[in-house]
Amino acid sequence: MIRKVLIANRGEIAIRIGHTLREMEIEAVAVFTDPDEHSLHVPAADAACHIESYLDAREIVRAAKEYGADAIHPGYGFLSESPSLSEECEKAGIIFIGPRPDTIRSMGDKLESKRMMKSAGVPVVPSWDGNPPASAYPVLVKAVGGGGGKGMRLVEKAEDLAEAMASASREASKAFNDSRVFVEKYIRRPRHIEFQILGDSHGNHIHVFERECSIQRRHQKIIEETPSTAMTLKLREEMGAAAVAAAKAVDYRGAGTVEFILDPIGSFYFLEMNTRLQVEHPVTEMTTGLDLVREQVLIAEGQRLSYRQADLHPVGHSMECRIYAEVPEENFRPSTGTIEIFEAPAGPGVRLDSGVGKNAVVSYHFDPLLAKLIVWASSREAAIERMKRALADFVLLGVRNNIEFLHRVISDPEFSSGKIDTGFLDRHPELFTVSTDVPVEALLVASLGGEKTVSGAHLPDVWTSGFWRNS
């Protein structure tokens, strides 16, 4: 039995993990670095330990021992996909809430994972180490150790390959400390569809259905939903079986995600496997009633999955919007500042997983994800209406953010038709046009000490999103 867990993360995911631990009557220990001294995940836990870095596995394991934690939850990002934390836990006799180090290592390597999946009979996107044949173009240069959409380059012509590989390699070396890159066939107008999987330490593996994640910017998701509008019963059965085969191929333990790309004619290919809780896991929770963090804890305790594939029956439709401190109209540049007003939406079928509140300081130190707004409704149409309403109710002032942009995307007729793919935002430049009226709240915040100029094309550095109620 796990009695105390150190949460090796920050922000919304640290708080979300804490919610489940409290329900399970498990104590939570937070960790924080200097810039996070006043962050909400610190008082949310039962105890908190100052650390120098979220990326130092030894320091985190030392903190766990000092505070008497018997397990560590890595969250996502940071050390969640690095075998080091899992290894250090093993050495120290602490339970790592996640897969074994060898699984993390082989699935963190995009070439190795593809090799393993191919031999398990799972279809993979064709790829090459170096020069692909001329017929393969366009191609995508990818980082072997990549993640978060970083280190990718689209190459249309063979003559541009060498330069793209060199620049992707430099970016990968900085971001992942691994300069290796490879070349993959670029699938045009694909959908990103992934399957949640669960595996226990007794050899049971199931999938918990799909998530549609095709609305992306810079190869990173911003809106996710389940079920996917691309899904038929047959396709779900085929992709679900491939996801379970992928899980079995590595005797996966814990919660994981098998990512696929679906081409316009309905063929699907394995993209990668993420050996951790996914940012968008809440949509799966909303439609299945499972608490995936609870499942992770039970699996880590060595318990068996208490249900089989046939016992799971998702209900309704769920959608998530990622609320980022970024300016979509300015190429999604990250924004910083202090949150002056934070009025969260509520009401039937609305869930907010947030890492911030009033007075929170948003800095350049960390990923700009502030919160996730999740809705559930009986149908996709109703979920869209609910999401529109919840976004319109959301008042977040002091830091520029993407709330208004998300509202425009959700309101787009092509989005509501469900015929979406990863090129959606590129096809809709009009969604990036800001209305010229300066909203009332912007003026309010400007008077509270934000940026003073609020005229013409120069928008204040405090963007507002709750203005639909006034217009």
Buried (b) or exposed (e) across 58-69, using 16+ Cβ within 10 A? ebbbebbeebeb
Q: What's the rounded Cα separation, in Å, for the pair 144 and 179?
A: 8
| Of positions 422, 424, 459, 461, contacts ligand ADP by CB under 6 A | 422
Q: Where are the beta strands (DSSP E) in 8-149?
A: 27-32, 47-50, 71-73, 95-96, 127-128, 139-143
Q: Kindly indicate which of the ranges 93-101, 143-151, 397-405, 458-466 contains the residues binding ligand ADP, using the contact rule CB under 6 A.
A: 143-151
Residue 18 CA to residue 26 CA, distance in Å, equals 9
In sequence order, the 6+-apart residues with CB closer than 8 A to the CB of 456 are none
User: Of the candidates 74, 83, 98, 190, which one interacts with ligand ADP according to CB under 6 A?
Assistant: 190
Q: 3-class DSSP state for residue 82?
A: coil
Residue 186 or 252: which CB sits closer to ligand ADP?
186
Size of the site for Mg ion (CB under 5 A): 1
Positions in 259-278 near Mg ion (CB under 5 A): 259
- Asked if 95 contacts 70 with a C-beta cutoff of 8 angstroms, the reply is yes
Residue 280 near ligand ADP by CB under 6 A: yes
**Closer Cβ to Mg ion, 259 or 404, answer by number:** 259
CB of 318 to Mg ion, least distance (A): 20
Q: Does 184 bind ligand ADP (CB under 6 A)?
A: yes
409-468 residues in contact with Mg ion (CB under 5 A) are none
Q: Is 362 helix (H, G, I), strand (E, B) or coil?
A: strand
Q: Which residues contact 87 (CB under 8 A, 6 or more apart)?
A: 57, 101
Of 223 and 395, CB closest to ligand ADP:
223
Catalytic residue (one of 211, 217, 276, 351): 276
If 0-12 CB within 10 Å is exposed, 13-18 middle and 19+ buried, where does residue 320 land? buried
Spatial separation of the C-alpha atoms in residues 156 and 17, rounded to whole Å:
43
Structure tokens at 21: 């631990």
In the complex, least distance from residue 272 CB atom to Mg ion, rounded to whole angstroms: 5
Instruction: Evaluate whether 141 touches 165 at the Cβ level (below 8 Å).
Output: yes
Q: Quick check: 220 binds ligand ADP (CB under 6 A)?
A: yes
256 binds ligand ADP (CB under 6 A): no
Judged by beta carbon, residue 88 or residue 171, the one nearer ligand ADP is: 171
CA 434 from chain center: how many Å?
26
Find the residue with minimal CB distance to Mg ion.
259
Q: Any catalytic annotation for residue 153? A: no
| Residue 415 touches ligand ADP, criterion: CB under 6 A | no
Of the pair 342, 424, the CB lying nearest ligand ADP is at 424
| Residue at shortest CB range from ligand ADP | 147
Please list every residue from 59 through 78 that binds ligand ADP, using CB under 6 A.
76-77
- Which residues have C-beta within 8 Å of that of residue 391, sequence separation ≥ 6? 321, 345, 373, 403, 406, 407, 410, 465
Stretch that binds ligand ADP, among 31-39, 92-100, 214-222, 308-316 (CB under 6 A): 214-222
Query: Does 114 sit near ligand ADP (CB under 6 A)?
Result: no
- Which residues are designated catalytic? 276
* Contact residues for ligand ADP, defined by CB under 6 A: 76-77, 81, 125, 140, 146-149, 176, 184-187, 190, 192, 216, 219-221, 259, 261, 271-272, 274, 278-280, 367, 422
